[in-house]
C-alpha cells in the first residue's frame, strides 16, 4: 500500500514546532526547575565522559609531577607538612576545650547545641564553562550523595553552592556569580546583610546597608546561616570599600571574597543538614531577593 504522506512535515512547520518546544523547555527549566533530572542524566551519560577525557591531560601532568619529584623535595614537603600539622594540632587542643566549654554554656542556657558538619573533599575539573558565568565542575556527584544547594568551601572560606547534579560530577555556582546571593553578618558588629556576586571573582557587593550602619573597611563578614542554605560562621569576605553617596538611601559596600575562587583546586562539600535532600535551588536573580534577604 502506498504511504499516505510521502513527505514529512515541512521545514517551516518543524521549525515553528521546535521553537515552541524550546520556549516550553526553557520555562520548565528556569521557572519550575522541572528538568534537573534530565540535565543530570545527559550530564552523567553523555557529557561526563567528554569532561573526563578533557581533564585527563592535566591529571596526567599532576601525576607526572608527583612521581618525578625528587626524594629531597618530598622529604622537605613532608617536614613542612608535619610542622604545620603539629601547629594545627596545638591550636585544635585549645579549640576543643573551648568547644566543650561553649557546649556546656549553651546547655546551661538551654540553647540548641551546635550540629556537627560532614565534609568531603572534591576536586575542580580543568574544564572551561561559559566565561560569563562563575561556575566550576566538581568531580563528585550523585554517587557521593551530593545534593542541589549544597554549600562548598575551600581552606579559606565559602566558595559557592551546587546547582546542577550529575551522576559522577556536579556543577557549582560561585558566590561571585551575578545571580548568586549569600546571607552574611559582619562579625565585629553583628550587622546582617546579603552579599551579591558581581561577575568578578575578586568582588562582592553588600546591598541594603543604611548610611549610619556600623561597618568599617577591613571588617570580616561571615555566613549568618539565615535562609538555611549555608552553615553559619564560615568566613565569606573582607570589606574593602565603603561609599556613602549623599542622596542615596543605601551605602555602596564592596567586599573581597576570602576563598580563593579562581585558584583553589580542592574544595570541601559540606553536609550541615543531613536530612535535607530535595531542596530546590534559589539562585536565580529574580527569586533571590525575596527569599534570601
Phi-psi bin for 11: left (phi > 0), alpha (psi -120 to 50), beta?
A: alpha
CB of 242 to another protein, least distance (A): 24
- Which of 129, 126, 125 has its CA nearest to residue 168? 125
Query: How far is 60 from 62, CA to CA, in rounded Å?
Result: 5
CB of 23 to another protein, least distance (A): 7
Nearest to another protein of 173, 236 (CB atom): 173
Task: Record the cell numbers describing residue 218, joined without a space.
Answer: 577591613
CB of 18 to another protein, least distance (A): 5
40 CB-near residues (< 8 Å, 6+ apart): 142, 164, 165, 166, 167
The footprint of another protein (CB under 8 A) covers: 11-12, 14-15, 18-19, 21-26, 28-30, 35, 38-39, 42-43, 46-47, 50-51, 53-54, 58, 126-133, 135, 163-164, 171, 178-179, 199, 284-286
Nearest to another protein of 201, 224 (CB atom): 201
17 CB-near residues (< 8 Å, 6+ apart): 9
Q: How many CA atoms lie within 13 A of 36 on its CB side?
A: 18
Residue 185 · residue 227 · CB < 8 Å: no
CB of 163 to another protein, least distance (A): 8
Nearest to another protein of 46, 276 (CB atom): 46
CB of 181 to another protein, least distance (A): 13
Amino acid at each position: 500500500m502506498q504511504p499516505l504522506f510521502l513527505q514529512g512535515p515541512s521545514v517551516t512547520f518543524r521549525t515553528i514546532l521546535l521553537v515552541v518546544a524550546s520556549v516550553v523547555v526553557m520555562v520548565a527549566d528556569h521557572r519550575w526547575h522541572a528538568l534537573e533530572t534530565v540535565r543530570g542524566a545527559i550530564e552523567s551519560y553523555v557529557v561526563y565522559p567528554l569532561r573526563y577525557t578533557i581533564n585527563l591531560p592535566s591529571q596526567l601532568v599532576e601525576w607526572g609531577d608527583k612521581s618525578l619529584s625528587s626524594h629531597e623535595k618530598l622529604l622537605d614537603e613532608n617536614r613542612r607538612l608535619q610542622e604545620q600539622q603539629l601547629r594545627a594540632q596545638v591550636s585544635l587542643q585549645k579549640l576543643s576545650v573551648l568547644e566543650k566549654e561553649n557546649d556546656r554554656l549553651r546547655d546551661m542556657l538551654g540553647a540548641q547545641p551546635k550540629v556537627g558538619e560532614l565534609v568531603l573533599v572534591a576536586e575542580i575539573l580543568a574544564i572551561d564553562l561559559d566565561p560569563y558565568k562563575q561556575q566550576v565542575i566538581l568531580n563528585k556527584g550523585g554517587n557521593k550523595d551530593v545534593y542541589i544547594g549544597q554549600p562548598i568551601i575551600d581552606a579559606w572560606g565559602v566558595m559557592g553552592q551546587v546547582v546542577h547534579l550529575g551522576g559522577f560530577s556536579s556543577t557549582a555556582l560561585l558566590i561571585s556569580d551575578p545571580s548568586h546571593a549569600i546571607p552574611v553578618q559582619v562579625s565585629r558588629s553583628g550587622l546582617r546583610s546579603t552579599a551579591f556576586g558581581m561577575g568578578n571573582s575578586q568582588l562582592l557587593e553588600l546591598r541594603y546597608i543604611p548610611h549610619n550602619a556600623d561597618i568599617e573597611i577591613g571588617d570580616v563578614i561571615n555566613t549568618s546561616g539565615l535562609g538555611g542554605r549555608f552553615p553559619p560562621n564560615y568566613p565569606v569576605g573582607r570589606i574593602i570599600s565603603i561609599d556613602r553617596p549623599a542622596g542615596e538611601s543605601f551605602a555602596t559596600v564592596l567586599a573581597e571574597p576570602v576563598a580563593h575562587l579562581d585558584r583553589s583546586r580542592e574544595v570541601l562539600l559540606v553536609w550541615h543538614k543531613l536530612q535535607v535532600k530535595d531542596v530546590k535551588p534559589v539562585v536565580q536573580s529574580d527569586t533571590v531577593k525575596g527569599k534570601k534577604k
